[in-house]
Amino acid sequence: MSVYDFTVKNASGGDVSMSEFAGKVLLIVNTASKCGNTPQYEGLEKLQQQYADQGFSVIGFPCNQFGSQEPGSNEDIQEFCSINYHTTFPVMAKIDVNGTDADPLYRYMKKEQRGADGSTIEWNFAKFLIDRDGNVVKRYIPKAQPEDVAPDIEALLV
């Protein structure tokens, strides 16, 4: 099993097979628009711009489970990301990352790479690094800055 075995929803509600990203290095991040970590969008977009041509993509999954810091609709979120951070990476539909309604992709990634709180996502902007084969190779705490992840991305892009 790998992340490529899952299907997620895009911001318009359409199905996206994660197999569309097969062969790429991915950084999967649960995001929020009204969080102290929200400025990380800028660093995530820098990673996207820096490494996209080498087979890399950030994928954002908005989540409102932490302090209700992502209250908007999927359309609102897309507009926010575009206007404020000029994001070019995919920002999918809003999901739950913890609890009984947690998205299956997140349940899988949390099982593969447990964090400081076990399998629970701690807060907005937790990050999972995925290799080209769809394996979850590393998990980063929400406060980890995107630029700090760059060396690990580079190592997988070789």
Catalytic residues: 35
CA distance 59 to 17: 13
CA dist 73 and 145 (Å) reads 26
Give the relative orientation of helices 40-51 and 146-157 as an angle to the nearest 10 degrees: 20
Residue 83 sits at φ, ψ, to 5 deg, of: -70, -45
Alpha carbons 105 and 34: distance in angstroms, whole number: 24
